[in-house]
């Protein structure tokens, strides 16, 4: 369909997802699934990593997720021989952790007037058609690998959703 991206089911895109006892009992685990798919990790290993490094409690989302991801990107912490690189234009520095504050907005000209437009999922995939990225949207996160969505099926259909932050996953 024209207004959606290709989608990969969790059972196909995440190692050990179908067999995982933990996955069957989880909710609000979008960060775990994003890490598992982006870093090519087993679901249970990703669950353990996010629990330890992001202080995630079972069946609950991750608090201060964007700040923690930016910290990981800043120190280039290796995760399964890969690391994160924050995407966007720098607008300042976070006084708490020293990480750059980034924006994904971009300039457009509408009826002769220059404006800043917020990046949407659809635009992000046009600007970044290849590579592995973790995207943060309002109260949710998911992975895009080479234009294919790994997350919830609705993530592949909500192309006008604003991307709050994004990180590229780079092989070491």
68: CB partners within 8 A, 6+ apart: 53, 54, 62
Please check the confidence at residue 32 and state whether its pLDDT lies above 90.
yes
- CA pseudo-torsion sign 102, 87, 45, 30: positive
Query: What are the structure tokens assigned to 157, written together?
Result: 């259909």
| pLDDT at residue number 144 | 98
| pLDDT at residue number 150 | 98
Query: Per-residue confidence at 29, pLDDT binned at 50, 70, 90?
Result: very high
| pLDDT at residue number 36 | 98
Give domain limits for the chain: 7-171
Burial state string for 67-106 with b = 16 or more CB within 10 A and e = fewer than 16: ebbbbbbbeeeebbebbbebbbeeeeeeeeeebeebebbe
75: CB partners within 8 A, 6+ apart: none
Reported as a single tens digit per residue, the pLDDT across 141-158 is 999 999 999 999 999 999
Chain mean pLDDT for the chain: 94
Reported as a single tens digit per residue, the pLDDT across 43-102 is 999 999 999 999 999 999 999 898 889 889 989 999 999 999 999 998 888 787 777 788
């Amino acid at each position: 369909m024209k207004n959606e991206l290709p989608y990969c089911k969790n059972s196909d895109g995440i190692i050990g997802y179908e067999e995982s006892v933990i996955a069957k009992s989880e909710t609000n685990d979008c960060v775990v699934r994003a890490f598992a798919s982006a870093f090519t990790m087993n679901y249970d290993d990703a669950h353990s990593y996010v629990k330890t490094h992001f202080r995630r409690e079972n069946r609950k989302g991750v608090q201060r997720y964007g700040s923690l991801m930016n910290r990981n990107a800043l120190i280039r912490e290796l995760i399964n021989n890969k690391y994160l690189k924050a995407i966007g234009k720098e607008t300042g520095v976070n006084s708490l952790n020293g990480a750059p504050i980034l924006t994904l907005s971009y300039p457009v000209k509408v009826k002769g007037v220059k404006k800043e437009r917020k990046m949407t999922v659809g635009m992000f995939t046009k600007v970044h058609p290849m590579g592995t990225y973790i995207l943060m949207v309002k109260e949710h996160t998911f992975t895009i690998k080479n234009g294919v969505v790994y997350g919830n099926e609705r993530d592949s259909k909500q192309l006008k959703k604003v991307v709050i932050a994004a990180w590229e996953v780079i092989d070491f």
